[in-house]
Every structure is written in structure tokens, then in C-alpha cells.
A and B are shown apart, each in its own frame.
Chain A
């Protein structure tokens, strides 16, 4: 899909390449479907971003801040934020 002229992605794209053992959305969808959570690759991405939004919301609430859904979505899709959550989950 062609992007509008002048479009610039903030913080680049999130990639699974830097995380050992991480799967892409197609594989996630397949594995989840096998586990009983039937889904396609775009649903997997939407679920992932929704989960990241919940994490971002709870994090900010714990610090006394509230953000709009739009702001939370921007934070959730930010690769740096995703990597930070991954680090915490991996116990680094």
C-alpha cells in the first residue's frame, strides 16, 4: 500500500527480529488457533496492540496520568515501548 507523501513513521517499525524466539503475526495466528483461540494474522496484530494499550493505560494510571485512546494507541504501537515491555517480561 502506497503511503501518503511526506508520511514519516515515528520511532520506526516494531520488529520481532531482535527478540529471540519471537513470532510474526501469521505464526502467532496459527499457534493461537491451534490452542483454541481462532484468529487470522490481522486479528493477532489487533489483539496484540489492544493488549499493549491496556498495559500502557495501567502503567500511566499507576503514575496518576490519564491518556486518550488515540494517545494510548500511539504509545502501544511505539517500538521502544514494546521493547521495554518485552524486557520486563523477559526479566532483563
Chain B
């Protein structure tokens, strides 16, 4: 039985049941706490799924979203009159987001930088929806009230790296990135050929008159570089 099937076995609580369990949790009832957590695991899973494929394992995401759910259960105040899921959503989301941001790459970004990056992606999405085309870097920077330089540094530091040994395809036909990525470097034979060609071209250029050399330089923009 997989996780999703197991989750289906837990009934969703009504508002009245939530209040009832919240009161029991306040009184220190551990079983009521477990029941509340189990009943809301579907919410935790759905949030974890949103962040799958962002450079962290799904199992870890599930664990973090469960931690967020537990925090929400411990802090829920039934007297405010809200449904538990409304309150828990933000706790789970915050825990998962923080985990993803600090674990998706070797560079850990401060929370405000992560928030700005997230904001940038939302603004880009909205712009695309409205105008049917992606905004330029300058337009995006203007919309966010920042500079293109800051935006570029944020983006560079948020890039995550993948090990060449990590698996692309699992199972019997297992492949790692180093198996499937093309090697564009020259082999010794090609490198020798390139060096010989370069030498031959340079020798050929030596026989040109100063007038021919001047024209060639201008035509190929060598003078300008």
C-alpha cells in the first residue's frame, strides 16, 4: 500500500471535530494530537508535491511538511474560529519553503534573498500571462524595484548543482549524468589537427602583403578587438 492509499484511510475532520480535538490537545491528549496530524496529512502531502523536483528528495519534503503540520497542530487556537487547514497551510508552506531554499544547492541563501527570487518568478509569470511574452531583464528589475545586477547575482547564487554521478534513469538500465552528457572537449587527435591547421593558416597569412593584411584585419574585426 503506497503513501497516497494510506492517506485515504484517514477521514477528513469536520469543523466541530477539529474544535473537539483541539480542546483535547490543549488538555494534553497525545492520541487526539496524532489523530489531528493524521487527518491533515493529505494537506501536507499536497504542499510537499508542489515543491517536488526542486533539487530535494520528496521523502525529505514529506518529512518537513509533516514537521510544519505538527507545529500548526501545537499552535492552533480553536477560539479564533478558523478552520484548521487555513491555519496549517501557512505553517506547512513556510517549513517546506525554508527547507527547499536551504538544501537545494551548496550555497545557502538568506531568507530575504529567497523571498525576492520567489517574488521575481511570480512577477515574471504574471507578466507572461498578461502580455504573452517574457519580460526583459530591465523590465523585470523595474517591476521589482531593483537593478539588473542584483537580479543577476540573486539568480546566479540560487543555481543548484548536480553531481555527474547522480542517477538520470534508475532500474536495470541505470544511467548517470556522466554517461549521458556529451564530451565536447577535443580528443588528442582532433587537438593536434586543430593546432596544425592554426599553424598552416598563420604561415599562409605571413605571405600576404601589408595591404592584404590590412583588409583582412578590418574584414574580420581583428583591429577592433
Residues in A lying within 8 Å of B, measured CB to CB: 16, 19-23, 25, 27-28, 31-32, 35, 37, 44, 47-48, 50-52, 54-59, 62-63, 85-86, 88-90
Contacts and interface: CB of A to CB of B under 8 A. Distances in A.
Contacts of A62: 200, 203-204
A47 B215 contact: yes
22 contacts: A16-B219, A16-B221, A21-B221, A22-B218, A23-B221, A28-B215, A28-B218, A31-B218, A32-B211, A32-B215, A37-B215, A48-B219, A51-B208, A51-B212, A54-B212, A57-B204, A59-B204, A62-B203, A62-B204, A85-B220, A88-B197, A89-B220
The DSSP consensus for interface residues of chain A is: helix
Contact of B204 (A23, A58, A86): A58
Interface string B181-225: 000000000000000011011111101101111111011111111
Nearest to A47: B215
Given A16-B221, A21-B223, A89 B201 contact: yes
Interface of B: 197-198, 200-205, 207-208, 210-216, 218-225
Given A35-B214, A51-B212, A28 B219 contact: yes
A26 to B, nearest CB: 11
Given A21-B222, A27-B218, A37-B210, 6 more contacts: A16-B221, A20-B225, A21-B221, A51-B216, A89-B222, A90-B220
